[in-house]
Amino acid sequence: MYNGLLHLHNVMRWVILLLLLIVLFQSFTRSASARQTSLWLLISAHITFLLGIYQWFAGNLGWKAIQNSGFSAIMKNPPSRFWAIEHPIGMLIAIVFITISRRKIKEGRFSSAAWIYLIALVVILLVVPWPFREGVGRPWFPGIK
């Protein structure tokens, strides 16, 4: 079950990135369809975050790593620090920005929403374990090396 949810979590990053790019374009162009797209983005981001929380507690790279090695040892090891601290906190920050932007879209404040979506995109791009990231890279798609 853990592996299946990990693969779903991996696939969902592409859904979130695609929806984020679409809603960014819609926000900058003040498109009325931004309300619907931003809702799907919000739902996708929150579901993906819930999957990530499960993995953080059930997997070996989050809570169990902190319990087994100690917090100071995790902070001294860059790959362990990435999985236990940087990735979850960075994604939490991005989801907070996505949630704030969704509210602004609902209020009709497209310009400010677009800039906050842009910040969320940058945060996500920084804390995703891209395949080229040394020590923490994951495949582009599940099952592909």
Token reading at 76: 């001294």
The pLDDT of residue 1 is: 85
pLDDT tens per residue across span 53-95: 999 999 999 999 999 999 999 999 999 999 999 999 999 999 9
By three-state DSSP, how is residue 63 classified?
A: helix
* Domain span at 116: 2-127
Instruction: With respect to residue 19, please indicate whether it lies within any of the assigned structural domains.
Output: yes
Instruction: With respect to residue 144, please indicate whether it lies within any of the assigned structural domains.
Output: no
pTM of the predicted structure, to 2 decimals: 0.92
The pLDDT of residue 142 is: 81
Instruction: With respect to residue 132, please indicate whether it lies within any of the assigned structural domains.
Output: no
- H/E run at residue 126: helix 110-127
The residues, ordered by sequence, that sit 6+ positions from 105 with a Cβ below 8 Å of its Cβ are 23, 27, 34, 35, 38, 113
Instruction: With respect to residue 133, please indicate whether it lies within any of the assigned structural domains.
Output: no
